[in-house]
A and B are shown apart, each in its own frame.
Chain A
Amino acid sequence: MKFFESFRIALRALNANKVRSALTMLGVIIGVSAVILLVAIGTGVQHEVTGSIEGLGSNLIFAFPGNVEEGGGGSFSVTRQFSLDDAALLERRLGSKDLVVPIIQSPATLKVGNRELRTTIAAANENGDEVFTADYLGGRGYRRSDVSASARVVVLGSTVRDDLFPYVDPVGKSIDINGQQFTVIGHLAAQGGSLTGDQDNQVYMPVTTAQRLLGTRDIGAIVVKADDPADVNLLQRRIKQILRPKFGNEFSVFTQEETLGILTQLLGTLTVMLAGIAGISLLVGGIGIMNIMLVSVSERTREIGIRKAVGAKTYDIMSQFVIEAVVLSVLGGGVGIGLGWSGAAALTRWVPTEVTWWAVALAFFFSAAVGIFFGVYPAYRASRLDPIEALRYE
């Protein structure tokens, strides 16, 4: 009964001060939605990338030329590149059930008629589909014979196909890559981004064909797929043993788990950075709330004086202000959550997003705490004044 009455008083007071109420809510809304949105982007990117690596299976081992650990960071110089001979060496020395896949990735220009497209070539041997997960919509992948013949055949990612062949089946069509004629033998379903870049915006061809096209005898990396995931660490050691005589320390071998670890660390930093930006917006929102509350103190103190003069008790004053602040914070927080959430949903067209409950809770409770504190504290001080002091307050 008494509480219900305080609720009515509070709602009436909020209604009587629409601008102040709206501005306070705006502070909460900005803070909450910014935190939710930015953290959602950070988490979304992180999960999509790590998820797509995990999707490859837990039994991949990556060998790169150059010493990543010593170079520190990633700007390391490569003194000696891998070649197909190194891949063949590994193939010979490792178990016959473990697949060895040489890989090249390189930018290229595609032309069909007068349409032109900049994209990436991803080249491998006949086992390439084990590394670049492929889901054929039409046609086929290249075979062992295509690899040994350096056949000028190509498989299109979904974005490339949609750009160059929007209305027709591309299989059998011819296409110009860096000035050479290729035949399209297959095209893929959309798969999204991954460790190896945006898989949809790539074209796939035999590694030997790519070497000829790019005029090189080098390859970018060697991926080994262990037949039994339990053997991964053993296999990693064997690969190092095999490559050491030729390359010394100038190469690196990572298991999928290690790659994931490095990436997670990198992407974690991104999330922390975004969370930092979000924290700043939360602070700005909080300062906004604080300002409005403090600016309205003198008017509200007079209001408290009037209410006390006509018989309001301390309890009446405090419950009114607590309810006012809670209503504003909860409404603002609710709208902020809705806005952040739908913003995150809308952004998925361009960036992967994932709303996390801790960001929602943190943003909501921080804004609510700021709103309630700065709503209630001045009122608490004013409610302890004699009515006449409150009435005289300037």
Chain B
Amino acid sequence: MEESAATQARVECVESRVVLEARQVSKCYELDEIEVHALREVDLEVCEGQMLAVMGPSGSGKSTLMHMIGLLDRPTTGNVVVEGVDVSRMSPNELAAVRNKRIGFVFQSFNLLPRTSAQANVELPLIYAGVSLLKRASMARASLERVGLGDRLGHYSSQLSGGQQQRVAIARALVTAPSIVLADEPTGNLDSRSGIEVMSILQDLNRQGITIVIVTHDDGVARHAERVVHMLDGRIVHDELVENRTLAEDRMRELDAEEEAAQ
């Protein structure tokens, strides 16, 4: 363990600037006087336009790291820097504004508002961004069309499949045109076809210049990224560039062929 931490390779941003940075970030939970170190002095730089996967076994601190760099939670020690600005001293309301403008989230458990239409869910970040009513509606529609749900605007979450709900969540993450999208196990609750569709959308977004961080414990999913960071026990133990990156479109074509053959 000592050794792997010491020999950890670090991928540096060569051609582009750093959009997200964790500096010596630790997170410590105290449960019944027992300290749980979810993160131990993690350093991470995410480059602009990069698609990064965070891998690791259950309990290794992946989600915790995502919450820190997504400004959903505060580190016990260490700093988080977003586009060159240290957010440690920001008030909760200032953090909310940064999340609203810069960061989109996709959660493993969707986190859509219940009994609320897909369109209203997608409009939510725009309301808090102060976008006018009419503009909001057309932006939400465009965003839902982008994830292939143009015909499901009025459906409630309960009337959508898991894959469709996750795509609504992606549309919500996209609608404010953030520079960063953070996705925690975005395919975790989905069958393989829906999973591939979601990955295809994320790769597509990345191609358009959005920085993407995916948290996953699935190597197959991680291989869709350009770079993979491996975590173990609250530390980053390995950091590598992906060779022969998987393209979701190719896998979709393979899947179509398989299903045709089966019939």
Question: Chain A interface (Cβ within 8 Å of chain B)?
Answer: 2, 5, 9, 12, 16-17, 299, 302-303, 305-316, 386-389, 391
- CA–CA, A310 and B116, complex, Å: 16
- CA–CA, A62 and B87, complex, Å: 87
- CA–CA, A170 and B223, complex, Å: 107
Q: Which 10 A-B pairs have the closest CB atoms?
A: A311-B100, A310-B125, A311-B128, A16-B115, A388-B72, A313-B93, A388-B73, A387-B72, A312-B128, A388-B67
Q: Does B111 have its Cβ within 8 Å of any Cβ on chain A?
A: yes
Residue numbers in B under 8 Å from A386 (CB-CB)? 72-74, 92
Q: Does B242 have its Cβ within 8 Å of any Cβ on chain A?
A: no
Q: Does B129 have its Cβ within 8 Å of any Cβ on chain A?
A: yes
Residue numbers in A under 8 Å from B101 (CB-CB)? 311
- CA–CA, A391 and B184, complex, Å: 14
- CA–CA, A307 and B127, complex, Å: 10
11 A-B pairs with C-beta separation under 8 A: A5-B127, A16-B114, A17-B115, A299-B114, A309-B111, A310-B100, A310-B124, A310-B128, A310-B172, A314-B93, A391-B72
- SS of A interface (majority): helix
Q: Which of under 10, 10 to 19, 20 to 34, or 35 or more describes the interface residues of B? A: 20 to 34
When the two chains form their complex, are residues B72 and A309 in contact, meaning their CB atoms are under 8 A apart? yes
Chain B, range 69-106, C-beta contacts under 8 Å to A:
72-74, 92-93, 96-97, 99-101, 105
- CA–CA, A16 and B121, complex, Å: 12
Name 16 extra pairs, CB < 8 A, besides A16-B115, A310-B172: A5-B130, A9-B127, A12-B116, A16-B116, A306-B111, A309-B72, A311-B97, A311-B128, A311-B176, A313-B92, A313-B128, A315-B93, A316-B128, A386-B72, A386-B74, A391-B111
Q: Does B113 have its Cβ within 8 Å of any Cβ on chain A?
A: yes
- CA–CA, A307 and B111, complex, Å: 10
Residue numbers in A under 8 Å from B124 (CB-CB)? 306-307, 310
Residue numbers in A under 8 Å from B99 (CB-CB)? 309-311, 387
Q: 0/1 per residue, B46-71, Cβ < 8 Å to A?
A: 00000000000000000000010000
Residue numbers in B under 8 Å from A310 (CB-CB)? 99-100, 105, 124-125, 128, 172
- CA–CA, A388 and B125, complex, Å: 17
- CA–CA, A307 and B105, complex, Å: 12
| B120 to A: closest C-beta gap in Å | 7
Residue numbers in B under 8 Å from A388 (CB-CB)? 67, 72-73
Question: Chain B interface (Cβ within 8 Å of chain A)?
Answer: 67, 72-74, 92-93, 96-97, 99-101, 105, 107, 111-116, 120, 124-125, 127-130, 172, 176
A9, A305, A316, A386 interface centre (most CB from chain B within 10 Å)? A386
CB nearest neighbor in A for B66: A388
CB nearest neighbor in A for B124: A310
- CA–CA, A388 and B129, complex, Å: 20
| A240 to B: closest C-beta gap in Å | 78
- CA–CA, A303 and B111, complex, Å: 8
| A319 to B: closest C-beta gap in Å | 12
- CA–CA, A302 and B111, complex, Å: 8
Q: Of the candidates A2, A307, A314, which one forms a contact with B92 in the assembled complex, judged by CB atoms under 8 Å apart?
A: A314
Residue numbers in A under 8 Å from B129 (CB-CB)? 311
When the two chains form their complex, are residues B115 and A308 in contact, meaning their CB atoms are under 8 A apart? no
Residue numbers in B under 8 Å from A306 (CB-CB)? 111-113, 124
Residue numbers in B under 8 Å from A5 (CB-CB)? 127, 130
Residue numbers in B under 8 Å from A308 (CB-CB)? 96
- CA–CA, A16 and B115, complex, Å: 5
- CA–CA, A9 and B114, complex, Å: 14
| B248 to A: closest C-beta gap in Å | 26
- CA–CA, A189 and B73, complex, Å: 81
CB nearest neighbor in B for A390: B72
| B216 to A: closest C-beta gap in Å | 19
| A23 to B: closest C-beta gap in Å | 15
Residue numbers in A under 8 Å from B127 (CB-CB)? 5, 9
Q: Of the candidates B67, B73, B93, B128, which one forms a contact with A307 in the assembled complex, judged by CB atoms under 8 Å apart?
A: B128
- CA–CA, A382 and B172, complex, Å: 23
- CA–CA, A315 and B96, complex, Å: 11
A17, A299, A312, A315 interface centre (most CB from chain B within 10 Å)? A312
- CA–CA, A222 and B128, complex, Å: 81
Residue numbers in B under 8 Å from A12 (CB-CB)? 116, 120
CB nearest neighbor in A for B175: A310
- CA–CA, A389 and B72, complex, Å: 9
| B132 to A: closest C-beta gap in Å | 9
| A152 to B: closest C-beta gap in Å | 79
- CA–CA, A303 and B112, complex, Å: 8
- CA–CA, A12 and B121, complex, Å: 11
- CA–CA, A312 and B128, complex, Å: 6
- CA–CA, A126 and B149, complex, Å: 94
- CA–CA, A311 and B176, complex, Å: 11
